[in-house]
């Protein structure tokens, strides 16, 4: 699992299975510092001291996240190398793996980050590439040509990565270990962390089951300081968060000042902004504005379920989008990498939010986007409709 949001999602699945009477062990390879288990009911088995292959690789991918044009092919190639290096670190932990074998598991459930769309037809003429796609369901002829190019490039990168993964498994698990792509393709079921009403129309297999939003229950009562924060703002509250993997420290000081200046213009709304612990500039900028509070952590699903929440400004991570869809909250997406660009376009396609290119993020673009969503009731209406249809 690659970030806190992945652990949160998988932990929800574990709790559901435990409630159904199953004995479940959640395995957490500690690729990066993770301070919670995600599950309240299941057993947790951590594989620690995995070195720096993953965190170093992710840091090298990030850089100045908001200021450079994303090179999808190059970055995806590097990301696949990061995943394979991290995989090898786990395989070297033979003592821990032997402990896991003693459980004699009847079933294994694993993420398929490396097997997007295995054996599922994805016509590039109308299905956007899932990895680093900048297109939505409606593409121009030129965009379709580029989508075909990306489809072929990602297909090649994927198979190069699978070839290396197979080499690793044969090296550490034995020469007769089966092809991992075949294992994935022959899986009995594939659960997708999305929802039919959020995704665009595309071919799908009967064994593919959408479970996006599973485990997102009713919002819990808020504790302080959030209970008081949600009472601020004449017209309501806006939540601003880039999640756990995109640091606010990646924003340059100049761009950060523009963001906070744009938020301060909406005096009838109060803004809760999630920041990094080390982000002293954001704290200073918040003190200069009467309508902004900064926090290092937010109970996101509970805040989005509050009656006074009016808008969620976020990076288009899938779990956050599912929480927004479940609660019927309009969004402004600022995608950074991975599937986030595609997710942002899907939001615009369904009319429950708008998307800002990270390169253009600044005072004018953010102010105009906020004004557009808050002043046009259709965004809230469409968000409510999605919540009613899919959740």
Per residue in 302-321, pLDDT (tens digit) is 999 999 999 999 999 988 99
Render pLDDT for 200-243 as a digit per residue (tens, 0 to 9). Answer: 788 888 888 888 888 888 899 999 999 999 999 999 999 999 98
Phi-psi region of 25 (alpha: psi -120 to 50; beta: other; left: phi over 0): beta
Residue 1 clears pLDDT 80, i.e. is over it: no
The confidence score (pLDDT) of residue 118 equals 56
Separation CA 237–CA 211 (nearest Å): 29
The confidence score (pLDDT) of residue 56 equals 54
Tally the C-alpha atoms within 13 A of residue 168's C-alpha that lie toward its C-beta.
18
Most confident of 25-29, 138-142, 161-165, 221-225: 221-225
Residue 293 clears pLDDT 90, i.e. is over it: yes
Q: Is 47 helix (H, G, I), strand (E, B) or coil?
A: strand
Contact call for residues 338 and 243 (beta carbons, < 8 A): no
Six-digit token string for 166? 């197979």
Higher pLDDT: 377 or 186? It is 377
CA angle 144, 145, 150 (to 5 degrees): 90
Six-digit token string for 148? 């075909």
Residue 54 clears pLDDT 70, i.e. is over it: no
Nearest Cα to 64, choosing from 251, 227, 212, 259? 251
Q: Is 277 helix (H, G, I), strand (E, B) or coil?
A: coil
The confidence score (pLDDT) of residue 198 equals 83
Contact call for residues 240 and 263 (beta carbons, < 8 A): yes
The confidence score (pLDDT) of residue 136 equals 82
Phi-psi region of 111 (alpha: psi -120 to 50; beta: other; left: phi over 0): beta
Size of the chain, expressed as the number of residues it contains: 391
The confidence score (pLDDT) of residue 240 equals 98
pLDDT band (50, 70, 90) for residue 244: confident
Residue 330 is classified by DSSP as: -
Residue 382 clears pLDDT 70, i.e. is over it: yes
The confidence score (pLDDT) of residue 276 equals 93
Residue 220 is classified by DSSP as: P
The mean pLDDT value of the chain amounts to 88
Q: Quick one: average pLDDT of 347-364?
A: 94
Look up tokens 């395995």; give the residue: 27
The confidence score (pLDDT) of residue 320 equals 92
């Amino acid at each position: 699992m690659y970030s806190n949001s992945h652990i949160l999602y998988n932990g929800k699945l574990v709790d559901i299975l435990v409630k159904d009477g199953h004995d479940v062990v959640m395995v957490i390879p500690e690729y990066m510092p993770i301070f919670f288990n995600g599950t309240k009911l299941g057993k947790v088995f951590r594989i620690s001291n995995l070195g720096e292959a993953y965190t170093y690789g992710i840091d090298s991918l990030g850089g100045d996240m908001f200021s450079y044009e994303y090179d999808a092919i190059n970055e995806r190639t590097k990301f696949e190398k990061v995943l394979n290096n991290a995989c090898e670190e786990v395989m070297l932990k033979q003592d821990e793996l032997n402990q896991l074998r003693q459980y004699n598991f009847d079933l294994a459930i694993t993420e398929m980050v490396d097997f997007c769309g295995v054996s599922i037809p994805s016509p590039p003429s109308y299905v956007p590439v899932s990895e680093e796609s900048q297109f939505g369901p409606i593409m121009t002829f030129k965009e379709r040509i580029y989508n075909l190019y990306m489809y072929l490039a990602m297909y090649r990168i994927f198979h190069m990565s699978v070839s290396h993964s197979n080499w690793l498994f044969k090296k550490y698990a034995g020469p007769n270990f089966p092809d991992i792509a075949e294992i994935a393709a022959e899986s009995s079921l594939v659960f997708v962390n999305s929802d039919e009403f959020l995704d665009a129309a595309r071919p799908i297999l009967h064994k593919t089951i959408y479970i996006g939003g599973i485990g997102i229950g009713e919002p819990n009562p808020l504790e302080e300081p959030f209970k008081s924060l949600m009472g601020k703002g004449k017209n309501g509250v806006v939540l601003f968060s880039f999640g756990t993997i995109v640091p606010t420290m990646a924003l340059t000081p100049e761009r950060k000042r523009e963001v906070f200046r744009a938020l301060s213009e909406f005096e009838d709304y109060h803004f809760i902004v999630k920041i990094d612990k080390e982000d002293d500039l954001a704290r200073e900028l918040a003190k200069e504005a009467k309508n902004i509070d900064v926090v290092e952590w937010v109970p996101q699903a509970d805040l989005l379920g509050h009656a006074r929440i009016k808008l969620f400004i976020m990076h288009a991570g899938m779990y956050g989008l599912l929480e927004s869809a479940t609660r019927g909250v309009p969004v402004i997406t600022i995608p950074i990498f991975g599937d986030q660009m595609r997710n942002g376009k899907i939001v615009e396609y369904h009319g429950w939010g708008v998307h800002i290119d990270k390169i253009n993020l600044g005072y004018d673009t953010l102010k105009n986007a906020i004004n557009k969503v808050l002043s046009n009731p259709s965004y809230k209406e469409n968000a409510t409709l999605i919540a009613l249809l899919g959740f």
